[in-house]
């Protein structure tokens, strides 16, 4: 293979890595939108909180010494999911539930307020500067191509991100398609009022949606935190916007769509960063968002929405 195509392959690999974490965050947006039709603007902050919690747990456990790395990471994952889930649940309870049924914009403004609040809450309690963690997982699984020109590498970290994402996505798909709760979720997305009439506690299902979305965002927070090694209280804003773009790209309301959208966005971004000045990679995400909304607002896998009086 030529050098150029190897370079392209490497960029696609990097893009798929970032893209799979976007997909994890995007699921939170898409599930909430699918059921109550609102954009949970504070979702990006949940991802950021997940990053912080996992950094705290990892640093704490490493300081204790002689705990195996997988145990540390697993513990961090569980704690981050638990705490982020609690945040997700509380946000819904405090800021969204009282507003349910009112104008869409009112709920969105409340969500923006919540997002600003959480961002500054973390900036005040944890400091607003960058926090850096020394890389825990290094080395590569696989290298090919010649060393003189360009070698494509897949690192252990990337493999970890892919496998965790794959396991999570499979578990989520099974949960949604097989379990009783999952069936209730799908029923809620179909018709909230009717589901309620049939004796399903829709408030509980909505809470559950927020918890699942937040837990997935926390997984993404841990993975991306480890991948980049640096976090600060403001990472949630851009990550949230990108994940939202991914959700819209795949068709908001559709879980497979969010997965697909995340991967496409990740690759598109990596390719722009590779061939254009990297500052413009954020512009690509927004440009993509605007383009899809204009030409195919339902996204790739979404269903068209009928406007009701």
Partner 1 sequence: MRGTLYNAVFSAGITLILACLMLGVRLSAEGTRLTVVGAGADRWEWILAGVAVVFFGQLFSPRLDALFGRIPKPSLGALKPQDSTLKRLKPWLLAALIVGLVIWPFMVSRGAVDLATLTLIYIMLGLGLNIVVGLAGLLDLGYVAFYAVGAYTYALLSEYFGFSFWACLPIAALLAASFGFVLGFPVLRLRGDYLAIVTLGFGEMIRILLNNWTGITGGPNGISGIEKPTLFGLEFSRRAGEDAQTFHEFFGIDYNSGHKVIFLYLIAVLLVCVVIYLINRLMRMPIGRAWEALREDEIACRSLGLNRTVIKLSAFTLGASTAGFAGCFFAARQGFISPESFIFIESAIILAIVVLGGMGSQVGVILAAIVMTILPELAREFSDYRMLMFGLLMVVMMRWRPEGLVPMKRPHLELK
Tokens of 194: 């009717």
Site for partner 1 in 63-82 (CB under 8 A): 63, 79, 82
> Of the ranges 2-10, 103-111, 154-162, 204-212, which one interacts with partner 1 (CB under 8 A)?
103-111
Query: Residue 59 is encoded by which pair of tokens?
Result: 């640093």
Residues 6 or more apart in contact with residue 77 via CB below 8 angstroms: 54, 218, 219, 222
Binding to partner 1 (CB under 8 A) within 225-254 occurs at 237, 241, 244-245, 248
* Residue bearing tokens 């968002």: 289
Identify the helix (H) or strand (E) that includes residue 16: helix 3-36
Report the site for partner 1 in 122-151 (rule: CB under 8 A). Answer: 122, 124-127, 129, 131-134
Q: Which of 180, 277, 304, 306 touches partner 1 by CB under 8 A?
A: 277
The residue (of 132 and 174) whose beta carbon lies closer to partner 1 is 132
Stretch that binds partner 1, among 2-10, 156-164, 205-213, 277-285 (CB under 8 A): 277-285
Single residue of 149, 175, 283, 303 touching partner 1 by CB under 8 A: 283
Taking CA atoms, 95 is separated from 90, 110, 115, 235, in Å, by: 8, 6, 11, 22
Largest Cα–Cα distance in the chain? 68
Nearest in space to 9 (alpha carbons), one of 117, 132, 151, 123 = 151
Q: How far is the CB of 257 from partner 1 (least distance, A)?
A: 16
Min separation Cβ 172 and partner 1, Å: 23
Bridge partners (DSSP) listed for residue 142? 154
Binding partner 1 by CB under 8 A: which of 282, 296, 298, 300?
282
Among 56, 160, 181, 274, contact with partner 1 (rule: CB under 8 A): 56
Sites for partner 1 among residues 146-175 (CB under 8 A): none
Continuous H helices in 191-251: 192-197, 202-228, 235-250
Least distance to partner 1, CB of residue 225, Å: 11
10, 14, 20, 119: residue in contact with partner 1 (rule CB under 8 A): 119
Q: What's the CA gap between 146 and 4, in Å, rounded?
A: 13
Select from 71, 109, 142, 197 the one that contacts partner 1 (CB under 8 A): 109
Rounded Cα–Cα distance for residues 159 and 167 (Å)? 12
């Amino acid at each position: 293979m030529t050098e150029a195509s190897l370079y392209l392959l490497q960029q696609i690999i990097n893009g798929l890595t970032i893209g799979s974490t976007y997909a994890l965050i995007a699921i939170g947006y898409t599930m909430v939108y699918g059921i109550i039709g609102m954009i949970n603007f504070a979702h990006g902050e949940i991802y950021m909180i997940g990053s912080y919690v996992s950094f705290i747990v990892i640093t704490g456990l490493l300081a204790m010494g002689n705990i195996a790395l997988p145990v540390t990471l697993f513990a961090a994952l569980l704690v981050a999911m638990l705490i982020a889930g609690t945040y997700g649940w509380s946000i819904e309870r405090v800021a969204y539930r009282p507003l349910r049924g009112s104008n869409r914009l009112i709920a969105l403004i409340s969500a923006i307020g919540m997002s600003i609040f959480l961002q500054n809450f973390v900036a005040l309690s944890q400091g607003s500067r960058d926090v850096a963690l020394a890389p825990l997982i290094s080395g590569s699984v696989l290298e090919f191509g010649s060393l003189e020109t360009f070698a494509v590498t897949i690192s252990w970290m990337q493999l970890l991100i892919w496998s965790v994402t794959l396991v999570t996505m499979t578990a989520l798909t099974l949960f949604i398609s097989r379990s009783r709760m999952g069936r209730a979720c799908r029923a809620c997305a179909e018709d909230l009022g009717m589901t309620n009439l049939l004796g399903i506690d829709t408030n509980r299902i909505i809470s559950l949606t927020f918890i699942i979305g937040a837990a997935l965002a926390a997984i993404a927070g841990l993975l991306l935190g480890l991948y980049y090694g640096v976090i600060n209280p403001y990472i949630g804003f851009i990550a949230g916007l990108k994940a939202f773009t991914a959700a819209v790209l795949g068709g908001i309301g559709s879980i497979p769509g969010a997965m697909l959208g995340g991967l496409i966005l990740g690759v598109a971004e990596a390719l722009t960063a590779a061939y254009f000045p990297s500052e413009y990679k954020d512009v690509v995400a927004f440009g993509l968002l605007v383009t899809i909304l204009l030409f195919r607002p339902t996204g790739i896998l979404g269903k068209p929405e009928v406007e009701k009086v």
